[in-house]
Structure 1
């Protein structure tokens, strides 16, 4: 596990303070703010918002943006205390990352104007490094035992293959995924819809604390900020952008988890789903995705085959190998033509197999030497032995 030593290289203190202020003033994913931020930078945006640029934009500092929205930004910005927020995250052993920092995950830039202003982070690992090899596991809060078991099993398998499991720390599938990764001694990242010092849900307080010790807890919102329904939805775009792909496990038709996987699809990430019972409403949303462009997966190997390096193929799926599976096709065809009961003449077997008696006799003696058949007078019958000799590997050669 790599411990970051610095949050910044080229980013200035003023830029960091401005973005910390704006993280209180602007709601996550606000594309109106994102466009002005792209145009003026964080310090320029804040100067215009607080009136320092009245000489150039006296009446309307943000043309085309609604006055109510701007008024809300301004009100929040005037009450923000970025120095205190940065001190709080520092006391927690965390940091505030902004674009330009060496630890900033560049794939977040794919969100364009909806890119986070910054990320408040707790935990010892390097977010950028971890995000390069990560996968999101998301799903229903009120999941079934099947869903919880599957999420934990997938997370454990991914962790054992060196992949980072990213989720939202919610009840149900999220919690099971985090626990599965932690139980395997693996890496996991929780992306919160609140301040990283405000564990939510409360019932996951200990889980989130453990993730902060062994993995990473990440959020767009500054310390002591509480979640809202819209913030949960907007948080999902960060989960989708951070990771190489998103797997959804149990989701109803209107589940927030589907927002995550659809955001991943828009960003060009891999989208995957784990099927459930066709009678389960909790899997109806997943099945809808699987009828579209999402890929069906059932274990960690299949996920890695899709999102991993070229050549990382999942093991072939097949049933147990039986002795008769090792026979050459022509020999197996004769075996299939022998009736289940009673000795049968060679000519009858040949007729049933659609071949000549001479060719049939040759194959029958091969089958006899391998323990599949016995001769009784002029006829042949199947043996009662269930495990023919290992020489079956040479059948038909």
Structure 2
């Protein structure tokens, strides 16, 4: 185990085998009584801890009797996994924002420093059964964030999660997978190779001890860790009942940035994202826009604008004269001057300038647009 800053580490390992993640009653016990006292009373069973029914107390006691923290630590070491407690120098302090729902500890697989990586991290989450568009957006966002030095955090699942991890890895960047099972037990099975690659190039973390399996409730509770660990959460495709929305709402409660990638208005897989965007979430379409929110002051996304047309380079006076010419036929300089709100002499000077640039041509005493200019300055249609 790295760090060694937490004297209660073995007791916390014991509790990860006995207590489900995110249990606020246990968190209150630890805060008020201390880890050692909670473990002693679970082992002795003489004085039940407050706030639980007799049936639940018996269930906790049964788990406590089977817990073998030293064995869990040995198994972890053999798998290249370390355990971190809140007193460890590698512990991400932002997890403390979860209060009594803070993890009792984290099992970590990978060589990087979790605390340092988490300081500059963004969560990318979304639908498991995502569309090609969702996978494309997730991978592109992740690659862009990785290229800007940000760590991409996700849940290792199929769909958006997997695309986000692959996008970051493909860009040679850093990524963290937060699992709802033991970090030595890759889940889903189809992502065994991907999770092994993440452990090699990034980090795989979780609250559950070696060998533990995922359950629906553990997936939901895992999402609070993703939200708390990162500077902000981006949701890429999510239906109304998506677990990704749990992560986004947890991020909002914690005061983190919440962002969404829009999709087609008719897509059920984007309906949850659009609901977020109708609230406090911010619409983003690329990595630069994400960094503008979560990054330091001055890390601004570039201004978005259409292509620069040749007429955009004209001086304002010349543009006004050009706009005053009729779409069809010729007009006298006096009429053009009236339309451009300038003098006739100024209009004539501008017309000769525009002729040299190929925008107008002279016909007797009148002036008309060239064929090329008629295409480039075609009048906009009425919105009616």
Name the TM-score, length of structure 1 as normaliser. Answer: 0.91
Of residues 224-233 and 337-346 in structure 1, the stretch that sits farther from structure 2 once superposed is: 337-346
Is 1:85 paired with 2:78? no
In the alignment, the residues of structure 1 paired with residue 64 and residue 317 of structure 2 have an alpha-carbon distance, to the nearest angstrom, of 81
| Among candidates 39, 56, 74, match of residue 32 of structure 2 | 39
In the alignment, the residues of structure 2 paired with residue 287 and residue 276 of structure 1 have an alpha-carbon distance, to the nearest angstrom, of 8
In the alignment, the residues of structure 1 paired with residue 105 and residue 210 of structure 2 have an alpha-carbon distance, to the nearest angstrom, of 13
Q: Which position in structure 2 is the counterpart of 1:253?
A: 240
Q: Secondary structure at the match of 1:258?
A: helix
Q: Secondary structure at the match of 1:148?
A: helix
Q: Which position in structure 2 is the counterpart of 1:137?
A: 124
Q: Which position in structure 2 is the counterpart of 1:394?
A: none
| Among candidates 277, 280, 294, match of residue 290 of structure 1 | 277
In the alignment, the residues of structure 1 paired with residue 89 and residue 54 of structure 2 have an alpha-carbon distance, to the nearest angstrom, of 36
In the alignment, the residues of structure 2 paired with residue 202 and residue 133 of structure 1 have an alpha-carbon distance, to the nearest angstrom, of 29
* C-alpha contact 2:25 2:51 (8 A) present in aligned 1: no
Q: Which position in structure 2 is the counterpart of 1:147?
A: 134
Q: Which position in structure 2 is the counterpart of 1:29?
A: 22
Q: Which position in structure 1 is the counterpart of 2:5?
A: 10
1:112-132 per-position Cα deviation (integer Å, ceiling 9, x unaligned): 000001000101111000000
Give the superposition deviation at 1:353: 3.0
Give the superposition deviation at 1:226: 0.4
Instruction: Trace 1:325-344 onto structure 2 (pairs within 5 A).
Output: 325-344=312-331
Is 1:20 paired with 2:7? no
Of residues 321-330 and 377-386 in structure 1, the stretch that sits farther from structure 2 once superposed is: 377-386
1:293-343 per-position Cα deviation (integer Å, ceiling 9, x unaligned): 000000000000000010000011001111111223232111111123333
In the alignment, the residues of structure 2 paired with residue 333 and residue 18 of structure 1 have an alpha-carbon distance, to the nearest angstrom, of 78
Q: Secondary structure at the match of 2:34?
A: helix
Give the superposition deviation at 1:275: 0.1
Q: Which position in structure 1 is the counterpart of 2:257?
A: 270
Give the superposition deviation at 1:10: 2.9
Q: Which position in structure 1 is the counterpart of 2:84?
A: 97
1:62-121 per-position Cα deviation (integer Å, ceiling 9, x unaligned): 223332332222211110111111111111112001111011101000000000010001
Q: Secondary structure at the match of 1:301?
A: helix
In the alignment, the residues of structure 1 paired with residue 35 and residue 58 of structure 2 have an alpha-carbon distance, to the nearest angstrom, of 17
In the alignment, the residues of structure 2 paired with residue 91 and residue 379 of structure 1 have an alpha-carbon distance, to the nearest angstrom, of 90
Instruction: Trace 1:301-316 onto structure 2 (pairs within 5 A).
Output: 301-316=288-303
Name the TM-score, length of structure 2 as normaliser. Answer: 0.94
* C-alpha contact 1:159 1:181 (8 A) present in aligned 2: yes
In the alignment, the residues of structure 2 paired with residue 10 and residue 248 of structure 1 have an alpha-carbon distance, to the nearest angstrom, of 35
In the alignment, the residues of structure 2 paired with residue 7 and residue 241 of structure 1 have an alpha-carbon distance, to the nearest angstrom, of 22
In the alignment, the residues of structure 1 paired with residue 59 and residue 297 of structure 2 have an alpha-carbon distance, to the nearest angstrom, of 48
* C-alpha contact 1:25 1:72 (8 A) present in aligned 2: no
Is 1:112 paired with 2:105? no
In the alignment, the residues of structure 2 paired with residue 87 and residue 382 of structure 1 have an alpha-carbon distance, to the nearest angstrom, of 84
In the alignment, the residues of structure 1 paired with residue 24 and residue 97 of structure 2 have an alpha-carbon distance, to the nearest angstrom, of 13
Give the superposition deviation at 1:9: 4.2
Q: Where does the alignment leave 5 or more consecutive residues of structure 1 unmatched?
A: 1-5, 387-397
Is 1:164 paired with 2:151? yes
RMSD over aligned CA atoms reads 1.4
| Among candidates 147, 156, 161, match of residue 174 of structure 1 | 161
Q: Secondary structure at the match of 1:259?
A: helix
Is 1:188 paired with 2:175? yes
Aligned length: 373
| Among candidates 103, 108, 128, match of residue 121 of structure 1 | 108
Q: Which position in structure 1 is the counterpart of 2:224?
A: 237
Q: Secondary structure at the match of 2:123?
A: strand
